[in-house]
Chain A
Amino acid sequence: DTAVSQTPKYLVTQMGNDKSIKCEQNLGHDTMYWYKQDSKKFLKIMFSYNNKELIINETVPNRFSPKSPDKAHLNLHINSLELGDSAVYFCASSQVRRAEQFFGPGTRLTVL
């Protein structure tokens, strides 16, 4: 059983395009996150949602828009993709206040 799943696993696209990454968790967690891992493997949080409500928004360009249709899903939509958006994007989830996070398999985004 997959706890945190993401689609697609790989995404190759041209600059200027708009793309979405989907994330689903079946752990019953209240909180979900998006992280960006750059080419040097540095992980940085982008967004956090708790019960469909935005909790954390870490100085991310407004071209990035998370959407949480329900607490089991957190999607990431990116407008006007730029070269610098190339990275691996990880979704994660946790129960509020427990702090242990479970990560999805990642989506490798390549912008050409």
Chain B
Amino acid sequence: AQSVSQHNHHVILSEAASLELGCNYSYGGTVNLFWYVQYPGQHLQLLLKYFSGDPLVKGIKGFEAEFIKSKFSFNLRKPSVQWSDTAEYFCAVNAPGGNTDKLIFGTGTRLQVFP
């Protein structure tokens, strides 16, 4: 069965600090990978996604993620965080094909950015 691990449960940073959030998945086949963000009191929004091609993916708001197949990882990065990046971040994986689009989510990482 697929699973997703996010080892950083709570990250606290000052503005302008660099960010890296870890995400590892367990599935041996082809996967689609996602990072979603949930701002306080809001719904999930897609930050970026990887289906195929260049393993370095750029998303919205200056976020990027790198897919490293050999490490089963899809870590999220941002060179300089802002207070407005305070949110919950979820990594998710899906195995394409078949008739379903079932997303498996990680447990989330809470990011707090202080001015």
| Chain A residues proximal to chain B, CB less than 8 Å | 31, 40-45, 48, 50, 55-56, 90, 92, 94, 96-106
Contact = CB atoms under 8 A, between A and B. Distances in A.
B100 A56 contact: yes
Contacts of A31: 100-101
Interface stretch (B20-28, B64-72, B74-82, B88-96): B88-96
Given A41-B38, A50-B99, A92-B44, 5 more contacts: A48-B101, A56-B100, A99-B94, A101-B103, A105-B42
Contact of B100 (A55, A102, A106): A55
Given A100-B49, A103-B44, A105-B42, A44 B34 contact: no
B107 interface: yes
Contact of A100 (B38, B46, B88, B105): B46
A102 B49 CA distance: 13
Contact of B105 (A40, A44, A104): A44
Contact of B101 (A42, A43, A90, A97): A97
Interface of B: 32, 34, 36, 38, 42-46, 49, 51, 88, 90, 94, 96-97, 99-103, 105, 107-108, 110
7 contacts: A41-B110, A43-B108, A45-B102, A55-B100, A94-B101, A99-B96, A104-B43
Contact of A56 (B46, B102, B108): B102
